[in-house]
Amino acid sequence: MKNLKTFESFKNNNKVYYIENNPSNSYKYLVILSDNYEILGFITPSQSNEELKESGICTIGSVYGPSYGDLLYDSFIKKFGRIIPSSNISDVAKISWLKRLKNPKYVVYQIDGIGFYDVYPAEKVLNSVIDLKPEIKNKIKIYDIEELGKDVSKRVYTELDKLHKEQSNIILRDKEYNYTFGQSRDRWNWLKKFIQPMPHYSKTQDYYFKKHNIPFYYNDNEMAKKFLSLC
């Protein structure tokens, strides 16, 4: 019943807004606001490279919004184009990504030579590019935050900056829980700091994680099992 109420509330009142020039930071945002301008969710692009830009593919950065993930992803695709996960997504995000690969409303394909995940064979599925079917994309409307006026947009900027920092701090604080399997920029930075010589990317990194007791690797990890069950 709670989810139904959330859906009905969105259908009647909530809207997606685009923020390009947030004075607090350099991020671009898509935010979901309630009818009284409460922030229900947000999503940002992540760092990219020339190869991805030339191919018209964007990577996802931070995502926040319990129960609003689908709308955030769909709005992101409408605004920024085809997407691929970044090189540093959490265990939950990896699983979320695989679920979308199996959703028939998305168009899924791969482009040779573009992708981040090459440590474990099972991870290659994360190199898939996602687009959204035009009939669904066309139903989504995205508004400019400036349409709400200076007072409202200023309040949203302030609250968004605060919320984003809080979420980032939580992720970083608990990263040994959030990044326990698969390729992760956090984990490779840890390796560089404590292990020399630094091992190269390969399909046998499992050995290094066990041998050196890397904190981002655990045996019998339930999230990893769930990920593998979806592959």
What are the residue boundaries of the structural domains of the chain, listed by start? 2-170
Q: What is the pLDDT of residue 57?
A: 93
Q: What is the pLDDT of residue 6?
A: 42
Q: Are strands 106-109 and 142-144 parallel, antiparallel or unpaired?
A: unpaired
Q: What is the pLDDT of residue 26?
A: 83
As assigned by CATH, the class of the 2-170 domain is alpha beta
Q: What is the pLDDT of residue 197?
A: 67
Beta strand segments in the chain, E: 15-19, 29-33, 39-45, 57-64, 82-84, 106-109, 129-132, 142-144
Tell me phi and psi for residue 54, to 5 degrees. Answer: -65, -30
Q: What is the pLDDT of residue 7?
A: 40
Instruction: Enter the pTM of the model.
Output: 0.83
Do residues 95 and 230 make contact, with C-beta atoms less than 8 angstroms apart? yes
Q: What is the pLDDT of residue 115?
A: 79
Tokens coding 3: 């989810």
Tokens coding 182: 């698969």
pLDDT along the chain (231 residues), means of 10: 42 80 86 94 90 89 91 95 90 91 93 77 87 94 94 93 94 86 77 68 58 71 88 85
Q: What is the pLDDT of residue 11?
A: 44
Q: Quote the CA–CA distance of 150 and 146 in Å, as a whole number.
A: 7
